[in-house]
Amino acid sequence: MRVSRNFVIIGTSLLVFIIFLGLWALMPHRVIESSPPPAVTHDGELLRIRAGGPLDGRLTVEPIGTALTPHQVALPAQIIAAPGQTIDIHSPVVGRVASLHVQTGQHVQAGDSLATLYSGDLAQAWSDSRKAQSALTLARNAYRRAVGVLAAGGNAVKDMQSAQNDLKQAEAEAHRAQQRLQALGTNGDEGSQPLIAPFSGVVTAISTGVGQNVTDMTAALMTISNIDTVWVQASLPESLLPMLGTTMTLEAPFPGQTCSGPVTAQDPAFRTDTRRMNLYLRCNNPQERLHPGQFTTATLNITQKAQPLLPKTALLMDNDQISVFIEVAPKTYRRRYVTISYEEGDSVRILSGLTTGERVITHGAVLLNDY
């Protein structure tokens, strides 16, 4: 009887234990996990990326290249007439416009008649010339007679000298009168004054008409421009002056034609109204496709020495300084401060801090910036 009771107690205990284990297995348990190693570890100035970590594979590392291309600057530009190839036509005398022989946009050749004026001043110039020629003829004959009489012994030396003096004065007056006619540009017609084209070109403006009285000789009657050769004028801002070099080229695209070549000339001083310095490029225009006043955006190419070139995505701002991360070993990087120069599209030139061939994080460097 005692043995049976012991078996019952033991069986009951086992049953309770089994039920307890089953209930324990059914209860939720909190699993204590160990923290993973850090993604980045510090080793002095070095940053080491854990293999297989969240940053592994997200950083792009590339070697530094060298830029041999010139630095390019975009400048506003326009076509202007070549210096000395645009002139205003003025009347050398007062008078009245008798006829116009040209119209705006017309091509003229050197020596062509542009207009004709009637002028009293011209008539006076012709009268002075005829008087001078007549006085010269009389003085020349008187001098010859004085020389002949002196040779025959019938005249004093002073009479010959007086006649010689009169001759020299008459020659000077005749020369002056002739020079005045040449200065007026007369073609030999005593009653009219032609306006002659000084060179071949295009009549760009006319500001007179038939019957107009010309009383102001400083007022332009018309304008002629020769556009066989034009200049491209590019405006350089004052802030870009330090970029100028000794070797520069300009490239200016226009519809149907592109002008390019070395900078022909530049202004010696800035324009006070725009604070810009003008650079000039001579451009041949035989087909006259280019016209003064056309605008474009010119590219100024400034020759540079070989410099490291980096994408802008590699640059980081650190306390007002610019830095990059260089690779010193696989998955190991060090911060390096650099000095940049010009921007070249999506890249920048490096003045100091890096050398060609070093490996730099070009994409994803911002992920390390806070470590």
| pTM given for the model | 0.60
pLDDT at 49: 84
pLDDT at 30: 57
pLDDT tens per residue, range 168-177:
998 999 898 8
User: What structural domains does the chain harbor?
Assistant: 46-69+306-368 (2.40.420.20), 72-85+227-302 (2.40.30.170), 120-190 (1.10.287.470)
pLDDT at 261: 92
Comparing CA positions, the residue from 73, 62, 82, 104 lying closest to residue 264 is 82
- CB–CB of 202/224 below 8 Å? yes
- Segments in the chain below pLDDT 50: 1
pLDDT tens per residue, range 308-352:
888 888 888 877 788 888 888 888 888 888 888 767 677 788 888
Comparing CA positions, the residue from 281, 297, 299, 288 lying closest to residue 82 is 281
